[in-house]
Amino acid sequence: MEYRLDEIDRRIIYELMRDARNTSAPTIADAVNVSPGTIRNRIAQLEDRDVIRGYTAGVDFEQAEGHLTNLYVCNAPVSERKALARDAGAIPGVINVRELMTGRRNLHIMAVGADTEALRRITRALSKLGIEIEDETLVEAESDHPYGSFGPDEQPPASEPTDFISLAGDANVVDVTVQADAPIVDQTLEAAVRNGVLDDDSLVIAIERGDQVLTPHGTTVIRSDDIVTVLSRSGETERVLEAFVADDVPSEQR
């Protein structure tokens, strides 16, 4: 059963995503005008319901003795994807596994190694599991941001990518939240390409809508507040974002 959030729950999640290490129950309580005890009880409920699944440290592995972080973009049979994702997560050095609701490139695996030989060992281990590695690249930087819709009402809607991954060559994958006045809203993907709203060099590979993850097709209609994952073969991220953010958002804020 899904857990229905109220405004206090949303603000708790927002503040913890923003900075879990330096955010206390009294700080959140002051922001939403409730008692610290209420905040602590709500956090416990969110943890019990697995809405909040844990707290992790953001680590720059390059600063930690020059370790290398590598992203593997992989293909796994849909029927075996979950099992393969679990097995991949057990490989020493793997720090993150993301399953995507797509036919191909449906498994993204992040791994850390002390040197290139350590990464080659991880590559061999993934191949032995039967995972097809379609692409891989060293990760230069990564950043996380809180979900803007759960933040204070006066905060402007999120217009920046929530996640960004550079792939081999110029290609990249970007996650972005669709704004209400974005050009692509209420258009099918097929129509958006035909009308020049979406660059035909870009491919929408996943859509999060509420608690659903949709596999996009040409007839899929993009809605406001969808979180879309877009593969840009040319790497022109600015051009990709234009379809999903409001026309009046300054370019420097995209």
Question: Over the stretch 221-237, which tens digit does the pLDDT of each residue have?
Answer: 999 888 888 887 766 67
Is the pLDDT score of 184 beyond 60? Answer: yes
Domains of the chain by start residue, with CATH:
7-48 (1.10.10.10), 68-138 (3.30.70.920), 148-253 (3.30.70.1450)
Q: Are 224 and 210 in contact (CB under 8 A)?
A: no
Least confident of 59-68, 198-207, 238-247: 238-247
| Token pair recorded at residue 241 | 């974002």
pLDDT at 253: 44
* Bridge partners, 97 (sequence order): 109
The residues near 175 (Cβ < 8 Å, ≥ 6 apart) are: 161, 162, 163, 164, 227, 228, 229, 230
The residues near 114 (Cβ < 8 Å, ≥ 6 apart) are: 65, 66, 67, 68
Distance CA 75, CA 2 (A): 29
Is the pLDDT score of 168 beyond 70? Answer: no
Block residue for tokens 């416990």 = 44
Question: Over the stretch 88-117, which tens digit does the pLDDT of each residue have?
Answer: 999 999 999 999 987 788 999 999 999 999
